[in-house]
Structure 1
């Protein structure tokens, strides 16, 4: 409070002015501030005194009488030591120097003291510490230097300032920053064929927020490159999924943490093997060759190694008959309908071979091969075709028919064996025939070879049943004969009766007998009996009589005692009359022959 009173009449008015600078002489109007109250009695009250308020003040009292009076008052403000900034934070990189300052204002002399962890800092505490001070017009600045910072320097530094009028404290948060430590406790949470999910524990961040985690990975068989494969995830994550891996492959993985100062050391390396996956490639170089009419030998090479996707356990060999209406594509296909499959274990060189048995003869097969592992079968190989070897036909010709052309020839026709029974290319047919009657010898069988589907058999016996069979043959040999078909040649005129005899059985009766024809050549329909009479060297004509088919004897009267009688007989079929027997004669001097 500054007081300034003056007496006079009229009552003088009081005004205040403040010196410009720190010395009296030049004054300026005093601008009343919010923290200054001016009373009517002339007193000035400073509500909040500060060093800025210190100086020379001129109090003038005037009324309208005279020049007035004035008085100079020096206001001295005693300032305690204080810090304009109470708290601050300072960051420094580990290993570098740190220079920490605190500036105290107030009346000098001011004493400044540093403490860390409750202990006063001096040269005897740590040789790395040095303190330098400098006076200011309105206070003092003190600087604490740390020659080389370590992690444990991170903490609170206290700066204490004091003078005759008071004391103050300033707190400085010193943060020593460094690259993070390496991540720890790396675990594999999920293991797939082409991806791995990892988790880890967040490491010490080095007093600087972790911005990224870098997951580096490589195949176990490779060496770490300067720029290995990597996956970067934000520093807020402690899980990541590494993708685009290969199935059934062993990988090395390591993780590094990164902040604004740089990268941590790599973590410990973990080794993980991805799960298997069905093979993505097909076996190659598929080969097949016929070993017999019912066997095919198939061999192949394994898929390219990169397509195994695991350990090959074996192969599925698919095969099916190729219909003449089916077109087999040579390109790989996943269609395996109607295929028969045979399982084959992996061979010594990872390829394989198999002998397919029990196949249809002379048949084209479509063949494909699939590799499989613990996860299943991969794509099928290109489809190849192979045909089993020829064999003799296993089925006879069909629809064997025959008909008589003449009494000594037959026509035989047939159809080829069914396709499934040909077992190759039919190059011809063999038509065998022999008389069907049981009294004929078996070695009478004759065979005719032809390439057509019908043939004529000549030079046969008349009106004879023949047993006929047909077989087809290939280049390998003869096939199965057809069941016998019986045909009969047509009828013809018979041969002459086998023999004839005439005797005089009584005085006027002649008995003529004969034997049946050796070759009837048909059904005997009648016998014709012929009789010629010669008397006195003259022929008296020929007489004939038609007798029944069963007749073998005939009696005739001897009417003329001295005449010569001649007899002969023929047999007839529906075709006509055959040749006659020899002529027998009865004369008056004999009894016949």
Structure 2
């Protein structure tokens, strides 16, 4: 080869090299080089340019700088960012990792302190001299005035007022919104008048009062923060101070649109927002005209409240709300279910009576107490007693035969329905029922006397009066050749004389006994 790399030289020393050729006859004359200094072929870069801060918060800053004028002949491989607190003397390195970008976010600063920055560039030859230092920057959140409030709008008007509303600004300027200011002016003028308190409003709505009837106004709204008032938002158009005529509205919330369920003995509260101009007249009613004497009703121009304390099963049903003004009327209803014991069974009747049993029938209660009827309880009492005794506790039908009654005794009966909340109100028989039946037919009939126009008869009492006193006897006769029986006497004793007969005519007679349950067979 005709070249060679010489290593292990001492940096900064000066060297002379010579080269000699060799063949089989020996070594030739040497060729000497000029003196050569052992140094790197490139140098450290120039300092970075113009460090400055672009973004500031209370604990961080973003530092930017320019590329060095010269990289020293070798690529920049790292930048070193240093900071110095104005209150101190020491420069502190900010970045621990290699940095090749021309910007760096310095974190972990102390709020309220001032900092300056300098930058150094590094290449293969070494680190540059520090850049010029930046100005001092204070670590704090940057605050600007807020943007305009959003969606300014008119909510309502009257003869002397205009109600407006708006939304918070999209941009708060980096500081909390401390309030709002509202100004008004006449349409043809540019002289604005502040109508809100000096400290501003906290709410996002306001009613401007003391206006001139039928006068139009320009309205604008400002948001304010610690930096002051932001840009205004103008209410569209020129709203007029005039009375609005609005048909009434009822705003039932989702819970009131469903069935309102409440336990017995609790307090029912039906709160319903309403609207309308002029303020509507409010009326509450029950579906079937039931009394609302228990209810307390409070109504304003914006809501109505119906309160029923200590509710029971009879407070179940539809509550109908009607609101009306000169612009129209509107109705809505709320279904209320009171969880209570059932109401009384309906249409309790005596179906059949014998001397030892009574059969009762009834219909389910109109009010089930908000729970399915589980069973019925049947009770009886003798007319001479005051206390009822239980006949059946687990009746699942709407009828029951009460057995083992004492013949001839009078009884009252009542039926109660039961659900999961307990036993309800009773349905009672209005009058007592005697355990009896129709009597047996009278005994043997005897012909006691016969004349040309009369017959005297006697008979024996029935063997059994059916459990009820015999009230009388019915005597019937039938002419020979006729198939019709005609009543000829009604008596209370066991004999009768039948007159008005036709001489020579043949007659047949029969007698039936009667008690309070009916007429026996003849």
> If the length of structure 2 is used for normalisation, what is the TM-score?
0.31
Q: Of the two, which has the highest radius of gyration?
A: 1
> If the length of structure 1 is used for normalisation, what is the TM-score?
0.28
